[in-house]
Chains A and B, each alone.
Chain A
Amino acid sequence: MIMHTAPKTDFLAPDDTASELPNLALAPLMEPQPKPVPATPVLPAQRIAAWLRGVLPGVLMTALSLGLFIAFWYFATKYRWDFYIRFTNIPSPGDVLTNAANLMHSDKFYNNMWVSVRRILLGFGIATVLGVTFGLLIGQYRAARGLMFPLFEVLRPIPAIAWVPMAIMLWPTNETSIVFITFLGSFFPILLNTIHGVKSVDAVLLRAGRCLGANEFSLLRQVILPAALPHIFTGLTIGMGVAWVSLIAAEMISGQYGIGYFTWEAYSLIQYADIAIGMIVIGMLGLACSSGIRLLGNKLMPWLPTHSSRGRA
């Protein structure tokens, strides 16, 4: 039997013992009222000043970090630095900005972005559905594990990119083979983290569920799935990263359209500034996707204390 020590989050807990001790012997139990904590009154100006003091150092350091990088880039391209690393053909920040302003009005460019995002949504979406479903089954049922896990273990070490030639032969269109590559990249991280999540579900929760009359399906759906959700979201975050890696590589090798294709094509067409734009856009789209997953995670898992108590160091 596991011995649990005193609960660790006492600072959150309203004190129930103190309010109930006096009426011990009384039959009807009084409802303990949550005690409101009076906020210390602060003037708006003071509050803004305090906020600035907290936020300003971070902002300054971010600006410095990025500023130094751009300054280095600027001077290296301006003076055509050629010392093992060659900046002779590298576009300057100014070139990139000018080209970016032009591309803002190009429908073709937006189309490339949209095509890539659509491939991610499809491939990653299918990987999520299949990865979580198989993960739950493999994690919970020995038969499912015995039947499916060996196959997945054999396929897992093959990087998604290595599938490109096979995928082109396998699928009827180029589009589906790229979606397939994206799917493959994200499927395994999601699958493995889901299995791990199911394995680490506290056994006492399963016993509690069974005692409350849950059948096998409700146990899977209402206990194991939510209990494994934090691990599943770890898998989704990793899977999204690998999905982008696989997508860009697949687009560069076999693509038509897509932001990876755009970047590679810029190189072939000697549009060097567009290479940098492609890279920056890929970074921003990747960031947007992982932020989306984090937001979804916070929304689906409100019981986790992540967003309320963020430490400042």
Chain B
Amino acid sequence: MIPFENPNQGSTTGHIRIENLRVSFGHNSAAVEAVSDVSMEVKPGEFVSVIGPSGCGKSTLLNVVAGFVQPSDGTVTVDGKITDKPGADRGMVFQQYSLFPWLTVRKNVEFGLKQQGMEKFQREQAARTLLGLAGLLAFENHFPEQLSGGMKQRVGIVRALATSPQVLLMDEPFGALDAQTRVVMQQILTNMWQRFRISVLFITHDIDESIFLSDRVYVMTARPGLIKAEIPIPLPRPRTPEMASTPEYLAIKHKLRNLISEESLKAMGGELKDGGLGGFNIEVGPQGVAELI
């Protein structure tokens, strides 16, 4: 399936393939299956989101691609190479900013280049260029603590892009930001994505965010995590906040919301049955919980 109007169609690297991935934590009877039999892919230059209720294993999925978690079964490759350990070919942006507090903004961006053995002068130039693109050059000598949340996360993105990775992995990167800053950040991210012609695998629980950014959205089910649906987002680019009121946008949003609320309710129903309301002895399906609420 070719995504609509992908501005990065010329890209040839950054192909993520996930085949029959299963991840479980713990041993034998105590084992908890976080991801069960997930197959998906991110084509070179594509922007793909994974959306699902909290605890559905979407972060685990990303951590396998990053090389932090080993699959129990199945294979994950980036451009044919198995992702068994973390590396600079996969840039990662974390929700908790994760900037090195002892390094200035520019030194943070230089960190990856330094690991590659680039000369001091060259990596300073490279970092300055990147910071300029993100509108952060004026803050190159600030420490992360002196920046706002949105700026910190921009540095995080720039730092991940500095080593020219093939793919960018993002784990709810804007989750801690306020709504206004989040919209700005989505715009900036789209911008960087098109400029660097890079593939992005983006984890979120925000429906609007996934529609606004992605070429395709995968919906994951509540525990154990499975891919429930794959929704293409055929909206033209550049996308603007005004599009949120068009019928096409609303149709997609409606579809996604239905898929996800089913899952969230299922997750909640499961929790209610497991622990909560013991004395009431309620047996509820998704509809039952909806009525209760």
Give the B-binding residues of A (Cβ under 8 A). Answer: 1-7, 9-10, 12-17, 20-21, 24-25, 27, 29-34, 202, 204-205, 207-215, 218, 222-223, 226-227, 229, 301-303, 305
Q: Is the CB of A4 within 8 A of B135?
A: no
Q: Is the CB of A4 within 8 A of B115?
A: no
Partner of B134 from A2, A29, A33 at Cβ < 8 Å:
A29
Q: Which of B45-53, B173-181, B222-230 contacts A (4 or more CB under 8 A)?
A: B173-181
Binary per-residue interface labels of chain B (138-182) against chain A in the complex, 1 for a CB within 8 Å, 0 otherwise: 110001111111111000000110010000000110011010110
**Which 10 A/B pairs are nearest by Cβ-Cβ distance?**
A213-B88, A13-B148, A212-B112, A213-B115, A210-B86, A29-B135, A226-B102, A208-B98, A303-B143, A211-B92
Q: Is the CB of A24 within 8 A of B138?
A: no
Q: Check B137 for interface membership: any CB of A closer than 8 A.
A: yes
A201 CB → nearest B CB, Å:
11
* B63 to chain A: closest residue by CB: A207
Q: Is the CB of A226 within 8 A of B100?
A: yes
Binary per-residue interface labels of chain B (117-151) against chain A in the complex, 1 for a CB within 8 Å, 0 otherwise: 00000000000000011111111000111111111
Residues in B whose Cβ lies below 8 Å from that of A10: 148
Q: Check B68 for interface membership: any CB of A closer than 8 A.
A: yes
A selection of 24 A-B contacts at a CB cut-off of 8 Å is A1-B59, A5-B176, A7-B152, A12-B145, A13-B151, A14-B139, A16-B148, A16-B150, A16-B181, A17-B181, A20-B184, A24-B241, A29-B133, A29-B191, A208-B92, A208-B99, A209-B111, A213-B88, A214-B111, A222-B114, A226-B103, A229-B102, A301-B102, A303-B144
Q: Check B39 for interface membership: any CB of A closer than 8 A.
A: no
B189 CB → nearest A CB, Å:
11
Residues in B whose Cβ lies below 8 Å from that of A208: 92, 94, 98-100
CA distance A110 to B23 in the complex (A): 70
CA distance A210 to B63 in the complex (A): 13
Residues in A whose Cβ lies below 8 Å from that of B172: 1
CA distance A9 to B159 in the complex (A): 22
Residues in A whose Cβ lies below 8 Å from that of B187: 24-25
Q: Check B87 for interface membership: any CB of A closer than 8 A.
A: yes
Q: Which of A21, A34, A208 has the most CB of B within 10 A?
A: A208
Residues in A whose Cβ lies below 8 Å from that of B150: 16-17
CA distance A305 to B146 in the complex (A): 10
Q: Is the CB of A212 within 8 A of B102?
A: no
CA distance A93 to B59 in the complex (A): 71
Residues in A whose Cβ lies below 8 Å from that of B268: none
CA distance A29 to B134 in the complex (A): 7
Binary per-residue interface labels of chain B (198-225) against chain A in the complex, 1 for a CB within 8 Å, 0 otherwise: 0000000000000000000000000000
A22 CB → nearest B CB, Å:
11
Q: Check B95 for interface membership: any CB of A closer than 8 A.
A: yes
Other than the given A205-B100, A212-B112, 17 more pairs (CB < 8 A) read A3-B175, A3-B176, A7-B152, A10-B148, A13-B148, A14-B139, A16-B148, A17-B150, A17-B184, A24-B240, A29-B191, A31-B136, A31-B137, A204-B96, A212-B115, A213-B87, A303-B144
Q: Is the CB of B148 within 8 A of A14?
A: yes
Q: Is the CB of A6 within 8 A of B134?
A: no
B120 CB → nearest A CB, Å:
14
Q: Check B116 for interface membership: any CB of A closer than 8 A.
A: yes
* A211 to chain B: closest residue by CB: B92
CA distance A212 to B146 in the complex (A): 23
Partner of B138 from A2, A21, A34, A209 at Cβ < 8 Å:
A34
Q: Is the CB of A31 within 8 A of B132?
A: yes
Residues in B whose Cβ lies below 8 Å from that of A212: 88, 111-112, 115, 159-160, 163
Q: Is the CB of B240 within 8 A of A6?
A: no
Q: Is the CB of A303 within 8 A of B102?
A: yes
* A227 to chain B: closest residue by CB: B102
B193 CB → nearest A CB, Å:
12
CA distance A5 to B175 in the complex (A): 9
Residues in A whose Cβ lies below 8 Å from that of B94: 204, 207-208
A29-B188, A211-B88, A212-B115 are contacts. A20–B96 as well, Cβ < 8 Å?
A: no
B235 CB → nearest A CB, Å:
14
CA distance A22 to B125 in the complex (A): 29
Q: Check B71 for interface membership: any CB of A closer than 8 A.
A: no
* A207 to chain B: closest residue by CB: B68
Residues in A whose Cβ lies below 8 Å from that of B134: 29
A1-B59, A303-B145 are contacts. A211–B91 as well, Cβ < 8 Å?
A: yes
CA distance A102 to B68 in the complex (A): 69
Q: Is the CB of B184 within 8 A of A21?
A: yes
Residues in B whose Cβ lies below 8 Å from that of A34: 138-139
CA distance A151 to B92 in the complex (A): 40
Q: Is the CB of B135 within 8 A of A30?
A: yes
* B165 to chain A: closest residue by CB: A211
Q: Is the CB of A6 within 8 A of B149?
A: yes
CA distance A30 to B136 in the complex (A): 9
Q: Is the CB of A15 within 8 A of B102?
A: no
